[in-house]
Amino acid sequence: MKIAEINELAWNKVLIDMENVNFFQQTPWLDLVSKIFGLINRYIQVDTTEGEKIFICLQCNKNNEVYSNFIGYGGFLTYINISSQSLIKILAEIENKLNLKIVRIKLFPGNGIELISKTGWSVQKTSILKMGPNWHDKIKKETRNAISNAIKNDIEIKNLTPKDIDSFYDMYEKTMDRVDSSYKTPKLFFEKLIQFPNVYFVGAFHDKLLVATSIFLNQGDWSYYWWNASTEYGRKHNANYLIMFSTIKKLQEDNFKFIDMASSHNKGIVEFKNRWGSENEDFMIFEA
């Protein structure tokens, strides 16, 4: 097979030609992540001996360790279905020919590739909500009660603007401390991300004070539920539930069909997602 690097313009042409391109493969996202975290985007085209063309973006650190993607899903763009055996061969060739070390590959759900029987690969689950015309019928009673509690306590939902970033980040840092997170995303990342036209920073306010925020990354038919932060008041009065309910309605009005609520090892977070009627779907991940 032939492995060659292409430039960003060529990558963007591939995105235009492909169907169902997702948020995390867009160059504004890739460029933001690489800038904030000191990475280099390398766009790879693979021409197989059968005449097939396969594309992948790798985000590389200074030690030539690579991720696809560093944040979010990644993996291959193809015009055809690719077998797990072919995927293994391609990744091995990329490592060998470009002198790289693959650290993590996180493939999108529903990519049609069967589980790869090789050390490092595993199947994980993400929660997918299908926003059909009757999606609200699947909402659990506990969730309906939580939404009512937020409304009763005068929680107001509106999109954040760049002027809200200081309040957001203060709440975000306190949330990370509360959950004993060992890492915090730099503030500059959020300052740039909130300016993306296809990203919703949805805030819950009480008496004009920000009490909860969730971030939704949107592309094509899909929205990806990302960061969430909240104050004690926001948690007590279920502000996150009203954010989710209001945003689902907004996304449906904007013709989105699915929300990927992401995977989690926290039982409480998993239960929160399942109460909306989401269904678990497999995705594959490689971690060295």
pLDDT digits (tens, 9 = 90+) for 112-127: 677 777 788 988 889 9
Q: Which domains does the chain have, with CATH numbers?
A: 2-118 (3.40.630.30), 128-283 (3.40.630.30)
- Tokens 């790869």: give the residue: 116
pLDDT of residue 216: 97
pLDDT of residue 83: 80
Q: In sequence order, what DSSP letters do the residues of 50-83 get, joined into one string?
A: TS-EEEEEEEE-TTSEEEE-SSS-B-EEESS---
pLDDT of residue 75: 85
CA–CA distance, 257 with 222 (Å, rounded to integer): 6
Each residue's pLDDT tens digit in the chain (288 positions)? 899 999 999 999 999 988 778 899 999 999 999 999 999 999 999 998 888 899 999 999 999 999 999 999 998 888 877 788 888 889 999 999 999 999 999 999 877 677 777 788 988 889 999 998 888 898 989 999 999 999 999 999 999 999 999 999 999 999 999 989 888 999 999 999 999 999 999 999 999 999 999 999 999 999 999 888 999 999 999 999 999 999 999 999 999 999 999 887 777 777 788 889 888 899 999 998
Confirm if 193 and 246 have CB atoms less than 8 A apart.
no
Phi (first) and psi of residue 78, to 5 degrees: -140, 155
Measured in residues, the chain has a length of 288
Q: CA angle, 114 as apex, 227 and 98 as ends, to 5°?
A: 75
pTM of the entire predicted model: 0.93
pLDDT of residue 251: 95
Q: In sequence order, what DSSP letters do the residues of 203-249 get, joined into one string?
A: EEEETTEEEEEEEEEEETTEEEEEEEEE-HHHHHTTHHHHHHHHHHH
- Tokens 């309910």: give the residue: 245
Confirm if 140 and 275 have CB atoms less than 8 A apart.
yes
pLDDT of residue 262: 85
